[in-house]
C-alpha cells in the first residue's frame, strides 16, 4: 500500500490558503495532517500495510513521541483527552494491528501488562523490578560477535531480548 501524494505547500496555498494543513482524501474520509511528523507517521503506517486513520495516526504518534513504553491503558487515558470519541477497544485493536504489521513492538517483559514501543530498530529492553520503568538498551551495548544460536533446522524471525533488575535510580536509593 502506497500513501497517496500529499499536496505540496504550493498546492496547499492554492487550495486552502497559506496556512492550510496538508491533507489526504481517502475515499469518504479526509485525514488532516497537521505537521510534517504526521506525514512521516502516515507514510510509515502505509508502508507497513496499515490504512491510516485519525485514531491510528494519533496512537502511532503517541508511541513515537513518548519513549516510555506505555501500555494500552496509558495511551487511552492520554489520547481520550484530545479525541473524546476514542474507545479502549479502538486502542487495543490498533495496538494489536501495529504490532502485527511490525509498525510497533509489543513488549511482554512485564507479566501483568503488555507495553508498546514505536521504535522497531533492533534493541533490548530492561525492566526495573522496583519502579516498573522499561528502558531501551542499544543493541551495540548488548550484542557481541557471538550472537545467540539455534540449531540449523530452525529459522529465526525475531529475537526479543529482555533484562530485569534494578535501574541506576533505584540502585542509588538502596
Checking 95-99 for CB contacts under 8 A at 24+ apart, the result is 95/59, 97/50, 97/56, 98/48, 98/50, 98/56, 98/59, 98/60, 98/63
pLDDT at 101: 96
Average pLDDT in the 92-121 region?
94
pLDDT at 15: 41
Model pTM?
0.76
pLDDT at 33: 64
Average pLDDT in the 42-63 region?
94
Q: What domains can you pick out in the chain, each with its CATH number?
A: 9-103 (1.10.10.10), 121-173 (3.30.1490.190)
Amino acid at each position: 500500500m502506497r500513501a497517496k501524494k500529499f499536496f505540496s505547500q504550493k498546492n496547499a496555498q492554492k487550495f486552502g490558503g497559506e496556512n492550510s494543513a496538508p491533507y489526504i482524501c481517502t475515499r469518504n474520509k479526509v485525514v488532516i495532517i497537521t505537521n510534517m511528523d504526521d506525514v512521516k507517521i502516515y507514510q510509515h503506517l502505509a508502508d507497513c500495510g496499515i490504512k491510516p486513520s485519525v485514531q491510528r495516526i494519533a496512537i502511532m504518534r503517541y508511541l513515537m513521541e513518548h519513549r516510555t513504553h506505555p501500555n494500552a491503558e496509558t495511551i487511552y487515558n492520554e489520547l481520550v483527552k484530545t479525541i473524546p470519541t476514542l474507545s479502549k477497544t479502538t486502542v487495543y485493536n490498533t495496538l494489536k494491528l501495529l504490532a502485527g504489521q511490525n509498525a510497533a513492538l509489543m513488549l511482554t517483559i512485564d507479566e501483568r501488562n503488555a507495553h508498546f514501543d514505536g521504535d522497531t530498530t533492533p534493541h533490548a529492553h530492561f525492566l526495573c523490578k522496583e519502579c516498573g520503568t522499561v528502558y531501551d538498551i542499544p543493541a551495540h551495548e548488548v550484542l557481541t560477535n557471538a550472537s545467540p544460536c539455534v540449531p540449523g533446522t530452525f529459522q529465526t524471525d525475531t529475537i526479543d531480548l529482555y533484562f530485569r533488575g534494578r535501574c541506576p535510580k533505584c540502585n542509588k536509593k538502596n
